[in-house]
Amino acid sequence: MKLIEEWRQSWRLWSVRLSALGAILTGLALAAPDFLQSLWNGLPTDLRALLPVSVTHAVPTALFILTIVARIVSQNAPKSPASDAAQQSVTDAADHLTPLLARVTAVETMIRDVLSGVAEVRAAQQPAVALVAAVAASPSAEGGDAAPLA
C-alpha cells in the first residue's frame, strides 16, 4: 500500500471531509438513534414541511455520491481547459441524474399513494366484516327466529 502525496494534508480533501461526516452521522445513528430523531423534530415546522421525510433516507446515498464526485474532481488545480471539461462532465452527470431522481421521487409518491389506498380499503372493509360476523352469529343464521335488520 502506497500513500498519496501530501497525505498529511488529506484532511483538506473534500472526499475525506464528506467521508468523515458520513462516519460521524453513522456513529451518531448507532450510538444515539434518538438524537437524530430529536434533531429532526427540533427543526422549525416550516423547514420540515419543505423537506419530505424520505430526505433522511437519501442522506447516506447523497454523502456516498458526493464523496465519489469530490474524489474525482480536482480541488486545488488552477483553472484550465481540462478542469473546465471535468466541471462540464460533472454538470452533465448532474443533468442526467436530475430526471432520474424525479422519476424515483414520483415512484415513491405512487407507492405511498397505493399503500394509503390499501389502508383506506381495509378501514372501509372493517364495518362490513363486523356486519357479516354479526349476521353469522345471529340466531336466524342458525335456523332460529330473529328480528329483521332495519
Terminal-residue alpha carbon distance, the chain: 84
Answer for the pair 58, 104: CB distance below 8 angstroms, yes or no: no
Query: Per residue in 83-94, pLDDT tens?
Result: 667 777 778 877
With 0-12 / 13-18 / 19 or more C-beta atoms within 10 angstroms meaning exposed / middle / buried, residue 59 is middle
pTM beyond 0.75: the answer is no
Q: Minimum mean pLDDT among 24-28, 77-81, 83-87: which range?
A: 77-81
> What is the per-residue pLDDT across 80-133, written as a single tens digit (0 to 9) for each?
555 667 777 778 877 877 887 888 888 888 888 888 877 787 777 778 777 888
Query: 78, 99, 100, 81: which is closest to 89 by C-alpha?
Result: 81
